[in-house]
Amino acid sequence: MSKTYSISELAKEFDITTRTIRFYEDKGMITPQRNGQTRIYSPADRTKLKLILRGKRLGFSLDESFAIIDMYNPKGNNAGQLHTLIDGIRERRLALQRQMKELQDMLQDLDDAEQRCREALPDADTAS
pLDDT of residue 74: 79
Q: What is the CATH number of domain 1-58?
A: 1.10.1660.10
- Domain extents in the chain: 1-58, 71-128
Output helix, strand, coil percentages for the chain, rounded to the nearest 5: 70, 5, 25
Per-residue pLDDT for 8 more than 80?
A: yes
Angle between helix 7-14 and 43-58 (nearest 10): 30
Residue 66's Cβ-count burial label (10 Å; 0-12, 13-18, 19+) is: buried
pLDDT confidence of 102, banded at 50, 70, 90?
very high
Q: pLDDT tens digits, residue range 11-37?
A: 999 999 999 999 999 999 999 999 999
pLDDT per residue as tens digits for the range 39-95: 999 999 999 999 999 999 999 999 999 999 988 887 888 899 999 999 999 999 999
